[in-house]
Chains A and B, each alone.
Chain A
């Protein structure tokens, strides 16, 4: 089994892998055909990132399919179920703003992650733009969409503190990134006639959270579905 010390590649690879999987669940269910294409696009970009990152940490398929829940290092935010379209967009917004800030930083650094981060700049800004445009439309659309968007933002808020927990081995100005993230989200929500959620940004029991392998209930089911076929045929190649 691959060495599971928390390497940055593993943490960021798991984020991309898990969020890609969640977005893949939308296939065939999107509210409009253009969004089938857009959500799949984002899912594919993330899966591409995941494959590069996990390959830095070990064998991509072993890591994706043969680890237990407690060995995954992704943020709890990305494993949250899709909910309605507004909930998905809220998750995308929180994550894509964070990812773009982090990758912009990594792209200019000298770590093993720099080439990937540099290559991903175009896609991360597309992901952020997609989430921002929908946040604006839903926030300032109809009463119903406004209510749903606000509900999504509120429900996921408590998973956002973890985004800026320092990751071992990853040198980043976490506090400054958090400030920048808050500034961006605040400005966007104001334009979208939405309110910045006020609750705590971290659930009381989560302690270190996803980065330490502590996940939420829906994650186990997600993994059961994702890993079942691969595990049913030990050693087979596909």
Chain B
């Protein structure tokens, strides 16, 4: 480009054309401020969800009932930390540091997915999280691999590959329980009963109440509406539940020939908003544990920085 001080309208036209052509916006490209801040908010919330999401599953690492399951679970929790790293890096390309974002998480100014405010009460919850929560995350995230912002789209490609392994291990874990002893089967059913509805809430409020959806769709940050993705997820899960020999806790769940989709019962949005506001079973526990880990680690990070300063090399 030869223009020295290009006018904003011209830049905006280039941006619009890039998005319209389904090409990627890269960190150095001009972008509208609102596009940047929408992305930062979304990527940060996603990154925070990855690291807070480690807690409910890490809750079972030390009690995993076989060494094989323990290895799988440890690897999964480790993957989530890795996802957090990719995503904080993607946010950094938009000029926002990890420290800044963590600070916003710790002070409640940014959110993470509400699903992680529910407790993991039994071993079967590890399976239900893999099957339903990772499953819902995949349904949400596969379209993000085509998101208009390059670094986010590329991070999502890596993440989605691992999420599908997470989903499969959860399904397989539940299958083992469902086909196991009576007590194991009951444990699996109880977990699915507790996780089903919160999983449906993961797609966000209904389309007519969703605050950011329309603009995100126009920018191709988002490709499908909340309700569309939720329906897709339900349609995938129903036959899987059947194969598992487990039931989904919704008496209204029926095949609708006309729509070509499963109908499902009303979602308790009052619960959704309540958990979002901070009143879920584990909001306080999750965030204080996160803060404590961060505060307890402050002297370690300071030491690494001091050592790097003394020895003139990157601390990691």
Q: What 0/1 pattern do residues 198 to 234 of A give for CB contact below 8 A with B?
A: 0000000000000000000000000001101110010
How close is A155's CB to chain B, nearest CB, in angstroms? 17
- The residues in A between 1 and 53 inclusive whose CB is less than 8 angstroms from any CB of B are 17, 21, 24-25, 27-37, 40-41, 43-44, 47-48, 50-51
Q: What 0/1 pattern do residues 48 to 66 of A give for CB contact below 8 A with B?
A: 1011001000001100110
Contact A138 to B300, CB < 8 A, known contacts A33-B81, A41-B78, A238-B176 = yes
How close is B296's CB to chain A, nearest CB, in angstroms? 7
The stretch of A90-98, A140-148, A178-186 that contacts the partner chain: A140-148
> Which among B63, B303, B311 has the highest number of chain A CB atoms within 10 Å?
B303
How close is B300's CB to chain A, nearest CB, in angstroms? 4
How close is B189's CB to chain A, nearest CB, in angstroms? 16
Q: How large is the interface on B (under 10, 10 to 19, 20 to 34, 35 or more residues)?
A: 35 or more
Cβ of A176 under 8 Å from chain B: no
Cross-chain contact B316 with A34 (CB below 8 angstroms)? yes
Q: What 0/1 pattern do residues 4 to 44 of B give for CB contact below 8 A with A?
A: 00000000000000000000000000000000000000000
Q: How large is the interface on A (under 10, 10 to 19, 20 to 34, 35 or more residues)?
A: 35 or more
Residues of A within 8 A of B300 (CB): 31-32, 35, 85, 138, 145
Residues of A within 8 A of B183 (CB): 233, 236
Cross-chain contact B310 with A31 (CB below 8 angstroms)? no
Cβ of B204 under 8 Å from chain A: no
Residues of A within 8 A of B70 (CB): 24, 47
Residues of A within 8 A of B66 (CB): 61, 65, 230, 237-238
Cβ of B304 under 8 Å from chain A: yes
Report the separation of the CA atoms of residues A145 and B310 in the bound assembly, to the nearest whole angstrom. 14
- The residues in B between 62 and 83 inclusive whose CB is less than 8 angstroms from any CB of A are 62-71, 74-75, 77-78, 81-82
Report the separation of the CA atoms of residues A119 and B243 in the bound assembly, to the nearest whole angstrom. 40
Contact A233 to B67, CB < 8 A, known contacts A31-B296, A37-B82, A142-B299 = no
Cross-chain contact A229 with B293 (CB below 8 angstroms)? no
Cross-chain contact B82 with A27 (CB below 8 angstroms)? no
Cβ of A70 under 8 Å from chain B: no
Residues of A within 8 A of B78 (CB): 27, 36-37, 40-41, 44
Contact A233 to B304, CB < 8 A, known contacts A27-B77, A142-B299, A145-B299 = no
CB<8 Å pairs between A and B, sample of 14: A24-B61, A28-B289, A34-B85, A34-B316, A37-B78, A61-B67, A64-B67, A65-B66, A142-B302, A145-B299, A148-B299, A229-B123, A238-B69, A238-B173
Chain A residues within CB distance 8 Å of chain B: 17, 21, 24-25, 27-37, 40-41, 43-44, 47-48, 50-51, 54, 60-61, 64-65, 84-85, 136-138, 140-142, 144-145, 148, 225-226, 228-230, 233, 235-238
Chain B residues within CB distance 8 Å of chain A: 51, 54-55, 58, 61-71, 74-75, 77-78, 81-82, 84-85, 88, 98, 123, 173, 176-177, 180-181, 183-184, 289, 293, 296-304, 306-308, 310-311, 315-316
